[in-house]
Structure formats: C-alpha cells, structure tokens
Chain A
C-alpha cells in the first residue's frame, strides 16, 4: 500500500513542479527540465506501482531490476549492439543512403526519369517494405549481410524521394544566375543545388535513422546467428526473461535517440543558413 501511495505522491510532485515550471518564462532550462521531470516521474511511478501491486516480473519488471540486469549483462548487450547496430544498421544505412543519393543525382539529369520515378518512389516509400525481410534473409543468409540488405531497401526510397525533391529546391532565378556566371553543370551542382538540397537530404537522413534500426532488428526475427538485438529480444521473450528484453529496449532507445540526435546536430552544422534553423537559435 505504501508503495502505491509513494507512486501517487511522485505523480503529484511531478505534476505540480511542471505546472510551476510552465508558468515561468520559457527558457532553455525550463524547456529541458519539464520533459526530464515527466520522464523521471513516469519511472518512479512505474517502480512504485509494479512493487505496490505486486505485478509479476514476467509481465512488467520494475526499472531497478532492468537497471541491475543491464549492468550485469553489458557484455551480451555490447555483442548484440555490434552485431545489429554497427554491422547491420550502420552498414545498410551508409550503403542505402549513399546509393539513393547517387541515384537521385543521376535521375535528376533526366526529367523524363524524374517524372516517372518520383510517383513510383513515393508509392514504394508507403509500402510495408519490412515484408521484404524474409526474402532478403533467404538471399543473403542469416548473418549481418542480410540485415544490412533489409536496411538498404528500407532507407533507399525515402532518401531518393527527398534528395530528388531537394535538387529541385533551388529556384529558376538562382540557376539562371549560375548560368550567367558560365558555370558548368558540376559547378552548379556543387555550389548551388546540393547546398540548397541539404534541408531535404537531411530530412531523408533523419527518417532513415529510425527505419534503419527497425529494419535491422525486425530482420533478425526471420533468422539470425545467436547474437543480435532482435534475436535476443525474441528468444528472451520466449524464456520470459523480460528484464533482459527491457535492457535491450533501453539500448535500442539510446542508440535510436543518439543516431537521430547525431544526424540532427550534423544538420544544424550544415544547414545553419536555413530559416528553420536560424529561428531556433
């Protein structure tokens, strides 16, 4: 009972402090503090309610148990991280985004192809491409190559569509100006059109980060060597070792946020001139 009361108390304290903070003038500190407080409140309430209501750890382990398991099995988690994230997701991400980028530049030279590829690309980007996973696992074997292939297929079309759109972002006047400077195709590409396309390209890169992780993990459900985050999650669920599953989820969450955050930081550095970035500073 005392656990439940403690949980309710935590909820009230979190709620009250957020209402107070929200009344203060908006600043960087409050903007950061409010979501952090919410997160902490949820974790404390989770702990209290799981202990207070005596929820079986087979259904929902308390955060402390997850943290303990995390600390205990760092070697397993690291092995899975290398297998899934570094070998699978990252390789696929680089290959897929790179290929899409080069394809977009090639396509951009032919308006005919462009008009044909854009609708098809948009259509394919909306399809459940993750379903390709079993086929690619069959083609490329169980190891990380097949996971990278799934990631390549998943990130290719969003990236392609965004880059092609981005290459059209520079307007006629600017391109005409480059013409009056007698600049060649490549000069226009590198000095005007690619920089102008950067906001679009980074949009594609950001979408691709989440897709890459999802693709690499889900592809492991269709067969994998005995390591990898997807493998560990699906087998640990079978063994009812939910604390290990949650530890993997924590890793996935950290990696996902860091990956996304890293690309966002890069975007900030590259597209500092864009209104959406200038406004935020």
Chain B
C-alpha cells in the first residue's frame, strides 16, 4: 500500500499540470481575442494569468474551481439555494434512498434466485437483459410520468437510482449465496440444520464479502442515477440541476464545482462502505 503512494501522487500531480496547461491552451483564443479588441499585445505571462482567471473560461483552472467550491460550501448558509451543500444533500438523499431500495430488492431477488429454480431460470436472464437497456435514457419519462400520477420529489429519482443499483447487488449476492462449497452444505446437513438455519448461519455470512463489493459498485451507480434523474425536472435542485443550469448559462466554473462535489460524494460514500466492510469482516473473522 505504502509503495504506491508516491506513484499515485505523481499521477495526480501530472493530472494537475495537464489541467493547468490545458486551461491555458483552451482559454487562449478568448484571451487573444479580447486583447486584440483592446489593442494590446499579450506577453506570455499575461496570457497565462488571463487564462487562469477568466469569468466564463472554457476550462477553469483548478484553483478557480477550488475557490468556487469554498464559496458555495463554507461561505454560504446551508439552507441557501446557492449553497452546494444544500444541492448535494438533495442529490445524496435520493441516492441513499435509491441505494437502500436497490440493495433490498437485489438481496431479495438473489435469495429467490438461489432458492427457487423457476426464478433462477426466468428472472436471471431478464436481470441481465435489463442492464443492456440504457435506463438513464428513460429517466426523463419516468420522472414526468410519475409526476403526472402525482408522485414527485425524492421518489422518482430514487427509483432510477434503485434500477441502476439493484443489478450489481443481485449478481454479487447470487454468487455470494452460492459460494459455500458442497462440503460446507453437507456439514450443515449432518448437523440437521433447517433451510432457515443454513441460510442464516452459512449462506448469508459467507456472502458478506461479495455483498460489500457489489454495494460499492451499486453506490456509484446510484449516484449517477440520482444526478441524471435531476436533469429533466427543469433544474430545480440537486447537483444534476446545477450541471444543467451551468450548461444553460455557460457557468463552467459552476459545472466543474458541481462535478467535483459529485466526485467527492461518490468517493466518500464508497470509502464509507469500504470502512464498514473492513469492520464487519474483521468482527466475522473473515478479513484477509
């Protein structure tokens, strides 16, 4: 682990260098244009300074995004509509609800698939087929239709998140619940364990590593679902709405700050699941 710290830092530093260089390159046209109209020659250092501090740059420099992030998270009241924390919470609540629903649905389906032959044969192919359909494309329709029925707010977004997040859980849990070998299952039989006991004491515990791995994937997918679910609601609230509003008004700094916020949310949530995974597996004596 420690061995990879330096390489990772190098790569991250390289990304920042490329980012700054790209900001100069992409924003130069506008800077030259303005300088030509003002009738001044730009020296290289002036050019760089200008490209890193434009109002609506094609690509904002990292420090501009950082300033915007600071302004909209720390300097604004959390209840304010301009606060990124407020928007993040709107997105996060939909993400978490969708994730919870998706995980429950996924585990339920997986149990059905493992214990019921009819379900195994009939549901599993459709679970896989369901993911080749680009659900995100249907997001606007789901939102509008549910709105017409009178359901609005959190639930429609959560449903999209659920649809995206149940799949990894089903696949992972089916694998996990089937992971105990014949030997272990036979052992349970010799102890005269009922189906219930086999499930609670053998199958469920041995599926835990699979569950956590798929929950990480599901959480990332769920966040994407919530963000895309916010696009068609006409940019009311949430990170997706910030993206859309930013793209309407050319506020690139706002887009990038929303994007980085979403990235941070994803990273924190996945890390949180990872932490729970470590603690749980350790208590169960399964940690490597």
Q: Nearest Cβ distance between residue B11 and chain A, in whole angstroms?
A: 4
Are A134 and B145 in contact (CB-based, < 8 A)? no
Q: Are A245 and B141 in contact (CB under 8 A)?
A: yes
Neighbouring A residues of B123 by C-beta, 8 Å: 38
A113 and B11 within 8 A (CB): yes
Docked-complex contact B11 and A222, CB < 8 angstroms: no
- Would you list which residues of chain A between 103 and 127 have a CB under 8 Å from chain B? 112-120, 123, 126-127
- Cα–Cα distance between A248 and B134 once the two chains are bound (Å): 11
What mask results when residues 67 to 90 of chain B are scored 1 for a CB within 8 Å of chain A, else 0?
000000000000000000000000
With both chains docked as a complex, state the minimum distance between the C-beta of A83 and any C-beta of chain B, in angstroms: 14
Residues of B within 8 A of A135 (CB): 59, 247, 252, 255-256, 259
A223 to B231, CA, bound (A): 12
Beta-carbon contact of B145 and A249 below 8 Å: no
B3 within 8 A of A: yes
Asked if residues B138 and A35 are in contact (CB atoms below 8 Å), the reply is: no
From B37-45, B98-106, B193-201, B261-269, give the one contacting chain A.
B261-269
> Is the beta-carbon distance between A249 and B133 smaller than 8 angstroms?
yes
Of chain B, the residue at the smallest CB distance from A31 is B121
Stretch at the interface among B107-115, B179-187, B220-228, B279-287: B220-228
- A189 interfacial by beta-carbon distance below 8 Å: no
Q: What's the least CB distance linking B8 to chain A, in Å?
A: 5
Query: A114 to chain B: which residues have CB within 8 Å?
Result: 7
Q: Is A210 in contact with B118, judged by CB distance below 8 angstroms?
A: no
Task: Give every chain B residue within 8 A of A21 (Cβ-Cβ).
Answer: 121
Please tell me the number of chain A residues within 8 Å of chain B, measured between CB atoms: 61
Question: Closest residue of chain B to A15, judged by CB?
Answer: B118
Q: Do B270 and A126 touch across chains, with their CB atoms under 8 A apart?
A: yes
Measured between beta carbons, the chain B residues less than 8 angstroms from A119 are 4, 8
B96 on interface, CB distance cutoff 8 Å: no
**Distance of A25 Cα from B121 Cα, bound (Å):** 12
In the complex, what's the smallest C-beta–C-beta distance from B54 to chain A, in angstroms?
A: 14
Are B136 and A217 neighbours in the complex by a CB distance under 8 Å?
Answer: yes
Per-residue CB proximity of A218-244 to B under 8 Å, as 1/0?
A: 100111000001100110010000100
Interface members, chain B 231-254 (any A CB < 8 Å)? 231-232, 239-240, 243-244, 246-247, 250, 252
Cβ contact within 8 Å between A130 and B227: yes
Verify A218–B4 contact, CB threshold 8 A. Answer: no
Given contacts A130-B228, A253-B132, contact A229 B118 (CB under 8 A): no
Return B271 CB to nearest CB of chain A, in Å. 10
**B228 contacts A210, CB within 8 Å?**
no
Interface string of A256-271 (1 = CB under 8 A from B): 1101100000000000
Chain A hits for B121, CB < 8 A:
18, 21-22, 26, 30-31, 34-35
Query: Which residues of B sit under 8 angstroms from A209, Cβ to Cβ?
Result: 132
Compute how far the CA of A48 lies from the CA of B99 in the bound complex, rounded to whole angstroms.
32
A177 within 8 A of B: no
A233-B255 in contact (CB<8A): no
Chain A residues closer than 8 Å to B66, beta-carbon distance: none
Does chain B have a CB within 8 A of A37?
Answer: yes
Chain A residues close to B by CB (< 8 Å): 18-19, 21-22, 26, 30-31, 34-35, 37-39, 58-60, 112-120, 123, 126-128, 130-135, 137-139, 209-210, 213-214, 217-218, 221-223, 229-230, 233-234, 237, 242, 245, 248-249, 252-253, 256-257, 259-260
